[in-house]
Amino acid sequence: MTKRGYEEPAVSQFCIFLPTSMGRLRELIDLIGRRNVHLVALNLLDSVDAESVRIIFSDAATAHDILKEADYAFTQTDVLAVELPSPDALADIVAALLTAEVRMHMAYPLFSTSRGNSIVAVHVEDLPLAARVLRDNGFRLLDEGDLWPAAA
């Protein structure tokens, strides 16, 4: 919740720093999967010395504990998960944020869907303002519970 009492749905994005070596990403995915936590989104940036992996997990609290226990270097930040009601809706998201002068730092797709629609993660400069702008423009914002089917 913000200082003004505004609470928007948001999901946690983890930025995990891995040394560049074969198999490190696989080790991370296996470690997380053993605790029944799933990757909902993945964005990988590889450089000569290290990989920066941005991941949204199905259970952020458990993922945080696992990463901490395993001594991974990581940061955690909130991003908006926005349902795309049509294939060209990303252009509408960008236009709405631009009109409100909200800077978008990055966007990437999620592996899951919502009501049959694609979902995009959006990292912005001003999360509460971006959430309000997107809602006012008819977009549905999702939280962690919307991103992975509940266990049967």
- Per-residue model confidence as pLDDT tens digits over 33-81: 999 999 999 998 877 677 889 999 999 999 999 999 999 999 999 999 9
Topology of the domain covering 11-77: VC0802-like (3.30.2130)
Helix, strand, coil percent content, the chain, rounded in steps of 5: 30, 35, 35
Query: How far apart, in whole angstroms, are the C-alpha atoms of residue 38 and residue 49?
Result: 27
Is domain 80-146 classified as CATH 3.30.2130.10? yes
pTM of the model: 0.88
Same topology between domain 11-77 and domain 80-146 = yes
